[in-house]
Structure 1
Amino acid sequence: MTSPKLRALCLLPVLGLTVAAAGWLRQWPVTLSEPDAGAYRIELTEPVYHTAVNPDLRDVTVVDVDGQPVPTMVFDVDAPVASKAERIEMPWFVLPNGAQFPSQQIRVISQQSSEGRVLRLEAREGVSPSHAAESWLVDASALRSAVTALHLSLAADAQVEARFRVEGSDDLASWRLLTTDANVLQLARGGRVLSQLRIPLDNAARYLRLTQTSGDAVPVAAIFAETTPAAKVRSPDSRDFSPSVVAADRRSFEFLVDGLQPFDQADVVLPGNSAVTWRLESRDNAESPWQLRAGPWAQYRIGDTQRSRAQLLVPIRQRYWRLVSDVAVVETPKLRLSWLPEVLVFVASGKPPYRLVAGSAQQLRQDAPIADLLADIRGERGVGWQPASARIEGPGEMSDPAALSAPRDWKNYALWGVLLLAALVVVGFAVSLLRANAARDDKDQDAPTGGG
């Protein structure tokens, strides 16, 4: 079901963005993974970076079937890509009523697996767990993801209001406080149930101890852990570029890059074994001065396994790059630039189907408040929520070949028109005055001269 915030944002007027199908160099049909998700994310492909001309990618957006832009914003690859939360039923053990764990009254671990899982927990002789226990031990040692919350499962007819404290431990010896005062509620009436059985955690631990601090006995039937799996580490994309200019002394190699990717790693590729000290520079255009981006660093390769690491860069979009060495380099190097593709998030307002458009000297995207929207929805649905996926494929279709032409400045044209009109009026007045003066002189010359 679409969130009210998504519906509200869909209705926001996007002022100043009356974009027709024209005005964009290329377009890509957008394929949605879910028809009614409301918000979607698209990973930008290399052809999009090749088409864009604006340094901030503001000439990349999404339009509906009528060419009208929809609320859109571009994010770094990891910003809106939180993994979906999962609920996993956990093994749990009842602790004696009021006991603090570990305690001399409790045989701490009766049986434990090699992975650290608690297999059985027993009380010493003379101590039996109370039916209305106030404490539970939850074994989360088998999980490979951090526990962000616990969910209690109670009997369907239970009427409960209680408060809990949660502590965590990694060794069952030392404990730290994770949640001080969590409220648990379940009320049933007339076939309807009102419940709040989620206990958020401020930190993670292998073992969790729930202690009831107030309220009636809680008939726990099961305990679930809410986990957010670690985001998959995406391998960066990369391309090798051959030099466009080689200096006569073979100490300088210039490269022209055909894209606006956010390059964050650079490396030098040379055939065979090598050991060279390099500096890497870049600039915005052919007239700007070169700026140092990395180095000097020693690039080397010995065999197929021993080689230097790539140089980390502050992400930068520039088309002009240069490698400079202190000595002449016989073999011609290639420049390997790597990047993590960014993610475009849009709200599916307007009429489908949608298209991603890019490349324009006339149209610029105005970012919608997508970041605030994502934060609000995650506050309601949990940190694991993310927009549904969408995708584009291929090199795209040509949309408007004139999209990269500079837009006409009609204000300047109007100003020059006004100035020209004023000049013509002045000239008209001058001609009129000259004619009037000439007619007056002719009249004076033709007038009869009086005699005496």
Structure 2
Amino acid sequence: MIRRLWWMALLPLAAQAADDFAMQWPLQPAHPDAGAYRVVLDAGVYRAAYWRDLRDVQVIDADGKPMASAVQAAATPIAGPARQVELDWFAVPAGAATTMGGDLSVVVQRDAGGNVVSVRNALGTAAAGQGDPALLVDLGRQAGQVQALRVEWEGEPAALDLGYRLEGSDDLRRWQVLDPEVRLVRLRNQGRQLSSDRVAVPTASRYLRLVPLQHEGAPPLRALHGELAGDAVADDWQWVELAASAPGDDPAARFGYQVQGRFPVQRVDVAMPANTAVAWTVSSRDEDRRQAGAEPAWQVHARGWNTWTLQEGGRRQASAPLQLGQETSDRDWQLQAEPAVAGTPAPTLKLGYRPGSVVFLAQGRAPYRLVAGNARAATRESSLEPMLAALRARNGAQWQPTVARLGEGAVSAGDKAYAPAAPVRDWKSLLLWAVLVAGALAVAGFAISLLRGARPANG
């Protein structure tokens, strides 16, 4: 009977688990019979969160019991298929490529931007037809982006086996050997074809040169293409816009901003008036990095970050956002102009992030709720990661659990959920002191009684 009463007393406590959190959201599963769900977090959840590791973002069932869950960062975008661009190339007569120590400045004409516009034969017309020509490639604006060259021959020859030495240069004077022997092969046998027309480019140099290792045998070149890595497109970027806490009051052109919640910031941008150019030092800090008796230190993310806006004929252009080297969820941010100019307008600070998600198992009784915001939440160890890793290995890297969407958020405990936990009392020490004080009082009382009993009788 007593055991039943204890269980009855504990049930209301379990049902009131949501009351320990500031906010709550009903969850709407796409399929009610799934065993695992994935909930994409919105700005409201991040705004309610108290801890950096989002330990206070949890899923509970209809009885208030916490579900097995794991908070996950946004998935890394997968690069799309490789893209190809046509490159400018020139045939350099045999022998010219190695003349004068490899200096091509005497045979190559460039414009003011460094683009190769023509190649003339400095050795005379007699040398022009002797042997296979070298191939000079101008990568131009694609320098540093081209991962490989793709060769396209005239007439699509049925059989060839050619060797080239791949070299790179930034000024057409000093050449570096990148690959001493590149093989370009096309062979056919009984209806089958072996083809290798790709040359890897392990350099960011602007100019490349393919110098033939054979005297002759190469067919005329039709085109040369550059292979670029496919862009990893992530179109789920979200932005938090913040106004300066004290705009225009600091003569050092220093502006402070404060974020509510724990957003996983990866990009920084500013919104400024038209036709403005300012360089900034970008810093952030947080109370959880405070040292004993000292202010939390500012962590500098960038110095001299140049931002600008330009308005021309109804068209507005602006500088690109700043990419942070490491994700941060600091609450306090600061911009300081370089150089500091009094009267610099306070920009709107924009913090970019990609929303993460919570994965949970449907263990308890539906409906489920997501809760967030609790300064007293304890660290939780998730046991789901090994299972999720195994499922992705089995079903593909992009496998995800069934989607569950957030309903409309509602206040639960509100601001009182952010009150820090009461300091833990050392009851053992207090009890020991109480025993010692009680013992001392008992000894004192006993001594007083002895003294009273030892007094001489009057008379």
How many angstroms does 1:369 deviate by? 2.4
In the alignment, what sits opposite 2:24? 27
- Are 2:18 and 2:24, in contact at CA under 8 Å, matched by a contact in 1? no
Secondary structure of residue in 2 paired with 1:245: coil
SS at match of 1:368: coil
User: Does residue 291 of the first structure (1) align with residue 304 of the second (2)?
Assistant: no
Question: How do residues 238-387 of structure 1 correspond to structure 2 at under 5 angstroms?
Answer: 238-246=239-247, 247-285=249-287, 287-303=295-311, 304-313=315-324, 314-325=326-337, 326-328=339-341, 329-364=343-378, 366-387=380-401
Question: 1:61·1:358 contact (CA, 8 Å) conserved in 2?
Answer: yes
1:62 aligned to which of 56, 59, 62? 59
The whole-number CA distance in structure 2 between the counterparts of 1:342 and 1:365 is: 19
The aligned counterpart of 2:173 is none
Is 1:427–2:435 an aligned residue pair? no
Q: Which runs of 5+ in 2 are unaligned?
A: 1-13, 80-192, 199-230
Q: CA deviation digits over 1:375-421, x for unaligned, max 9?
A: 222333344532011111334332465322333355x1523541442
> After the TM superposition, which segments of 4 or more aligned residues of structure 1 sit over 6 Å from their partners?
none
**Contact 2:310–2:318 under 8 Å retained in 1:** yes
- The one-letter code sitting in structure 2 at the alignment partner of 1:306 is Q
Letter in 2 for 1:65: A
Q: Which amino acid aligns with 1:428?
A: L
Secondary structure at the aligned position of 2:439 is classed as helix
One-letter amino acid of the structure 2 residue matched with residue 40 of structure 1 = Y
Deviations 1:161-217 (A, max 9, x none): xxxxxxxxxx972399xxxxxxxxxxxxxxxxxxxxxxxxxxxxxxxxxxxxxxxxx
**17-26 vs 315-324, greater mean Cα deviation:** 17-26
Does the Cα contact within 8 Å between 1:77 and 1:341 map onto a contact in 2?
A: yes
Q: SS of the residue aligned with 1:297?
A: strand
| Identical-residue share of aligned pairs (%) | 29
SS of the counterpart of 1:58?
coil
Structure (1/2) with the larger helix percentage: 2
Give the deviation of 1:361 after TM superposition. Answer: 2.0
Shift of 1:367: 3.5
The answer to whether the 8 A contact 1:42-1:392 is kept is: yes
The equivalent residue for 2:217 is none
- Distance in 2 between residues matched to 1:338 and 1:353, nearest whole Å: 33
Quote the residue 1:436 is aligned against.
449
- State the superposition RMSD in angstroms: 3.0
Task: Return closer, same or farther for 1:365/1:349 CA change in 2, 3 Å cut-off.
Answer: farther
- 1:44 matched to which residue of 2? 41
1:236/1:22 CA distance change after superposition, 3 Å? same
Output one character per residue of 1:274-325: Cα deviation in whole Å (capped at 9) or x when no partner: 1111101111039312121122211111114432111111210011111001
Do 2:26 and 2:409's aligned partners in 1 also have CA atoms closer than 8 Å?
no
Distance 2:240 2:52 in 1: 19
Q: Give 1:272 deviation, angstroms.
A: 1.4
**Contact 1:27–1:399 under 8 Å retained in 2:** no
* Contact map agreement 2:252 2:336 (CA 8 A) in 1: no
Mapped partners of 1:255, 1:244: distance in 2: 6
SS of 2:417's equivalent? coil
Secondary structure, counterpart of 1:299 in structure 2: strand
Q: 2: distance between equivalents of 1:240 and 1:371?
A: 33
Equivalent AA in structure 1 for residue 22 of structure 2: L
Amino acid at match of 1:22: D
More deviation in 334-343 or 390-399? 390-399
Distance 1:417 1:305 in 2: 69
Contact 1:25 1:360 in 2 (8 A): yes
Unaligned 5+ runs, structure 1: 1-16, 84-170, 177-229
Looking at structure 2, the residues matched to 439 and 297 of structure 1 have their Cα atoms a distance apart, in angstroms, of 86
Contact kept? 1:62, 1:355, Cα under 8 Å? yes
What's the TM-score once normalised by structure 2's chain length?
Answer: 0.57
For the Cα contact (< 8 Å) 1:72–1:367, is it kept in 2?
A: no
Match among 414, 428, 446 for residue 457 of structure 2:
446
| Distance 1:401-1:265 versus aligned 2 partners, 3 A rule | closer
Secondary structure at 1:22's aligned position in 2? helix
Counterpart residue type for residue 273 of structure 2: P
1:407 maps to what in 2?
A: 421
Match 1:173 to one of 195, 199, 207: 195
Corresponding position of 1:114: none
- Listed as ranges, the matches of 1:137-148 within 5 Å are none
Correspondence for 1:105: none
Q: Partner of 2:25: helix, strand, or coil?
A: strand
Q: How many Å separate the matches in 1 of 2:350 and 2:256?
A: 13
- Structure 1 residue 75: Cα displacement: 1.0
Q: How far, CA to CA, are the matches of 2:232 and 2:400 in structure 1?
A: 12
Distance 1:23 1:437 in 2: 57
8 Å Cα contact 1:47/1:396 also seen in 2: no
CA distance 1:321–1:232, change in 2 (3 Å): closer
Map Cα deviations across residues 196-244 of structure 1 (whole Å, 9 max, x no partner): xxxxxxxxxxxxxxxxxxxxxxxxxxxxxxxxxx986223100221111
Question: How many corresponding residue pairs?
Answer: 289
Closer, same or farther in 2 for the Cα pair 1:330/1:175, shift >3 Å?
closer
Determine the C-alpha separation between the residues in 2 that align with 1:368 and 1:51. 21
- Secondary structure of 2:388's partner? helix
- 2:262 is paired with a residue whose SS is coil
Number of the residue aligned with 1:87: none
Residues 67 and 335 from structure 1, CA distance in 2 versus in 1: closer, same or farther, beyond 3 angstroms?
same
Secondary structure in 2 matching 1:446: coil
